[in-house]
Amino acid sequence: MDAMEEDQPFELEAYASNYLGHAKVERLLFIADKKLGTAFGDDALRLAVEELSQSENTQKYQEAATKLGGSSINRAQLEQKERKAAQRHDRLEAELNNYKTNLIKESIRMGHNDMGDFFYSRGDLQSAFKSYVRTRDYCTSGKHVIQMCLNVIKVSIELGNYVHVNNYISKAEQTAEVQKDPVVAGKLRAAGGLAALQAKKYKLAARKFTEVPSEMATQYQDVLSAQDIAVYGGLCALASFDRSELRSHVINNVTFRDYMEVNPEVRELVNDFYGSRYASCLNHLTRLRPMLDLDPYIHAHLNTLYASIRSKALVQYTTPFTSVNLPTMAEAFKTDVSGLEKELAELIQSNQIQARIDSHNKVLYARHADQRKATFQTALCTAEQYLGDTKALLLRANLLKHDFAQKQGEGQEQGHGRGGRRGGFGGGHGGGGHMPPHPYLGALGGYGLINPDLA
């Protein structure tokens, strides 16, 4: 066994068997590019060429076979496939034009759909996207809309256009049929999770992946496998959920638990993190890293996700204690004391940990809030608010008692007269009858309105 295979926690053929069609080929080619020049990369390229040789995508087959040396290219077979593809394209185009002439709406929809399938099998994703979108004007039922949306979503994911992915997920979710079919609902949530992951919205991605119904487990292999749902959902949840959310959405989630059973490494990772077994948790992350580096969708987010998970673990470790021995903590997190100090200092500066570090004695001391002082402050604020409200009520009661208020609809002259009768709001105002802007009695002393008898 070569060194690369020793570093991988999966068998390449078993890994590839989790996918179908374009997803299988794209993942194998991604591994081949990442591990170019290694035995593992050559094996991945060889499997991709074998898969492409059975497909209609002759262009990609030639590119992959050339990388492998070009000796396996069958020119006669390629020419035969090209002729058949040209004939099929002409036939589908003629049928579509005939449907348009006869104005048969359902036939036109099927014609565009067949053209989209043809372009997709040939690897022409842009043309496939256009053909699938054209079926939208000829959909006559919710089922047709869902089929159109799923086709557009699949192609958009391969194109990396996640704006279209989100748009067509929204269109599909507006149909009533989605609620009746858990497989379709699962595909939409999985695609939505993937779009959120690429947008670095990890909490939204975690929610989407953890809501995927178990019925979809093996029904979306041309895009994602059940293992992918477990890995993406588990890592995003650990990086973004708090403990209560982790418990409700992951630990106690029966549906997502089925996905984690497919990938025991992720299951143990989540359980160890929730159970505060950080050394074991970090070991699982280390073992998962080589495989995840070869994943086309999550590899670019690993540094961010791993850093977030580690930071949350450090915060959780220090929260219950008033002081922590740094050498003991460093051993639990498989690092040295100086490196741990730097990590803790960054968390303290970002206000994630309320503590101070004694670098001489290598101890972390927690700075807990003074609960007694905070309670007194809250009580005083509440009392002041109550006092102000009470004064405002007394003011209103006295104004109503002595008929000192301008009623709705009274004229200005009548208001002046009442103001003159009560002495106005001060010597310089000459009446007026309007209430002062401040509601409290204490603020009215300057207006000459309230006297000790009224109060």
Structure tokens that stand for 446 in this block:
């300057």
Using an 8 Å Cβ cutoff, are 352 and 315 in contact? yes
Residue length of the chain:
455
pLDDT for 300 = 94
The stretch 194-210 carries a mean pLDDT of 95
Give residue for tokens 């995927």: 212
Rg over alpha carbons for the chain, rounded to the nearest Å, is: 35
* Gap between the Cα atoms of 233 and 208, Å rounded: 8
pLDDT for 24 = 94
pTM score, whole prediction: 0.75
Burial class (CB in 10 A: 0-12, 13-18, 19+), 377: exposed
Q: Is the pLDDT of residue 53 over 80?
A: yes
pLDDT digit string (tens) for 373-391?
778 888 999 999 999 999 9
pLDDT for 36 = 84
Lowest mean pLDDT among 55-59, 71-75, 82-86, 302-306: 71-75
pLDDT digit string (tens) for 337-367?
888 888 888 888 888 888 888 888 888 887 7
Q: Euclidean distance between the first and final Cα of the chain, in Å? A: 95
